[in-house]
Structure 1
């Protein structure tokens, strides 16, 4: 999949998805504890099995993200392209100690360097 997303869409991706989730203390606690992490597809993932409550929280955040991606994609990209670009940016914005999914599909903990991202990320 080639990702040809305009600068405006990329800028929107940086702020659209995590804005609501960042206000939720349960999300922040799960993120800090390494129970959730960012995925290359632009959605949040549960690291390991996770409780039903945690899975519900992640599902709710992902529903909100998809709604934002769908709204923003109307400007000229597909939802998948917009979600992928968001995933690239969200992984880049993880802090040391936070989890993210590598291009190979495994969970990694961000160190002090840049996270491993898909080669299509710009």
Structure 2
């Protein structure tokens, strides 16, 4: 009998396998945007535990619009990559595991309890379901 994770049998495991290999190039394009890089290094945005980018504190309308645009692009990637293999949420969560682990010291990320953390020299706190 297969183990149920979220709402589908082994869906999260399949989503993690997909997230590790798919969509990486498209998400990597975010890092080439100077406005995104500046907001990230300034601690205005961070990786959320659900696979989307979050606005930290009260930021400008421009930062909020940029995050909204990037999250729309991420959702499109997650929808495409998850099709027939997992749910969008499972794929997004699996991607969050990878993106949070790839944060650099000084960058913000959302811990499993929902609080915003600043990455130190060690590994970031991640959900226990992350590989």
Q: Distance in 2 between matches of 1:54 and 1:98?
A: 16
Query: Is 2:64 aligned against 1:59?
Result: no
TM-score (norm 1): 0.92
Name the CA shift for 1:62/1:17 in 2 (closer, same or farther; >3 Å): farther
5+ residue gaps in structure 1? Answer: none
**Equivalent pair of 2:19/2:95 in contact (CA under 8 Å):** no
| CA displacement at 1:91 relative to structure 2 | 0.3
Deviations 1:10-64 (A, max 9, x none): 3215x15522211210000000111100011000001111111100000000000
Which has the bigger relative contact order, CA under 8 A and spacing at least 6? 1
Query: Is 2:30 aligned against 1:11?
Result: no
Name the CA shift for 1:79/1:54 in 2 (closer, same or farther; >3 Å): same
Match of 2:124 among 110, 115, 119: 115
1:43-58 aligned at under 5 Å gives the runs 43-58=52-67
Greater than 4 Å deviation, 4+ residue runs: none
| Higher gyration radius (CA) | 2
Q: Distance in 1 between matches of 2:18 and 2:66?
A: 29
TM-score (norm 2): 0.86
**Equivalent pair of 1:17/1:86 in contact (CA under 8 Å):** no
Q: Distance in 2 between matches of 1:49 and 1:57?
A: 14
